[in-house]
Structure 1
Amino acid sequence: MNPFYTLVADRAAHRCEYCHAPELVFNFPFEVKHIVPLYRGGADAEFNLALACRSCNLRKGTRISGIDPESGTEVRLFNPRQDQWNDHFQVDSDSGTLVGKTPIGRVTIACLEINSQAQVTARQLWIRLSLFP
């Protein structure tokens, strides 16, 4: 396990810092992810680490930006150390989808496929169980 896991998980309240999935419903700990990958000049330090569910971690990979589906411009992804989640994302409690309130939110949702059918179905259940948001 990553030596920074406890610090990063506690700071994130044991939620994925991208999609806000609650770690407690999974049968294994979430992953400690470099926000800016090492090969892109990111540091191996706590200010560059985020807690990520497996889905967000795999889809983020080495990305740091993407194309905003609304404007067609390149925009950086959500950075949990610089950005406030509620500034960029909104939960539609009826549908279980996340809505991007900003270009950063929209790009992050698109690149990480945060509204995939599996994610939305799980989120609907978490909402009914009062585990989300």
Structure 2
Amino acid sequence: MTAIPASIRWLVESRANGRCEYCLLPAAVSFFPHEVDHIVALKHGGKTDPQNLAYACWRCNRFKGTDLGSFDPETGGFSFLFNPREQTWAEHFQLQGDRVNGLTPEGRTTVHLLQLNSGERMAERQRAAANRVDDDL
């Protein structure tokens, strides 16, 4: 594991407005602290550079691991995962109540691989909405 300097951690967290860049869960309601994720893992040649780092909740980071992509559950074709440095969340996902819907192959693949609609994930979004931590949820 590569040590990420505190200044870069702060930049990644502030750029994400304190919420996971994959599922949008605010860090304030997460049971475990959010983490800095290498979008392209070091083992795939990714760098510890702000352009390759995302702020991720522990669930998203664990489910993503070092994966770069998977299979779109709708088409069965290979798709890369959503990349928060190169893509816009609202173009790939839609929040309907407590459920995240993938709108594109990248969105659907990310929803599936990161298990964004598991019972625990939906309960987290309900708790965030009830606590009014983030108006976007």
Which piece of structure 1 moves more, 24-33 or 72-81? 24-33
Q: Could you say if the C-alpha distance between residues 25 and 13 of structure 1 is closer, same or farther in structure 2, counting changes exceeding 3 Å?
A: same
Quote the residue 1:102 is aligned against: 104
Percentage of pairs with the same residue: 43
Q: CA deviation at 1:38?
A: 0.8
Moved over 6 A (4+): none
- Partner of 1:122 in structure 2? 124
TM-score, with normalisation over the residues of structure 2? Answer: 0.90
1:126: how far off?
1.7
Residue-by-residue CA offset, 1:30-53 (whole Å, 9 max, x unaligned): 100100001101111110000000
Unpaired runs of 5+ in structure 2? none
Match of 1:7 in 2: 11
Matched, 1:45 2:45: no
Quote the offset at 1:27 in angstroms: 5.5
Deviation string 1:12-40 (CA, Å, 9 cap, x unpaired) is 00100000000111355310010000110
The DSSP-based 3-state class of the residue aligned with 2:123 is helix
TM-score by length of 1: 0.92
Q: Does residue 1:82 correspond to 2:89, yes or no?
A: no
Aligned residues: 131
Q: Which amino acid aligns with 2:61?
A: N
Q: Is the 8 A contact 2:38 2:48 kept in 1?
A: yes
CA RMSD of aligned residues (A): 1.4
Task: Structure 1: state its 5+ residue gaps.
Answer: none
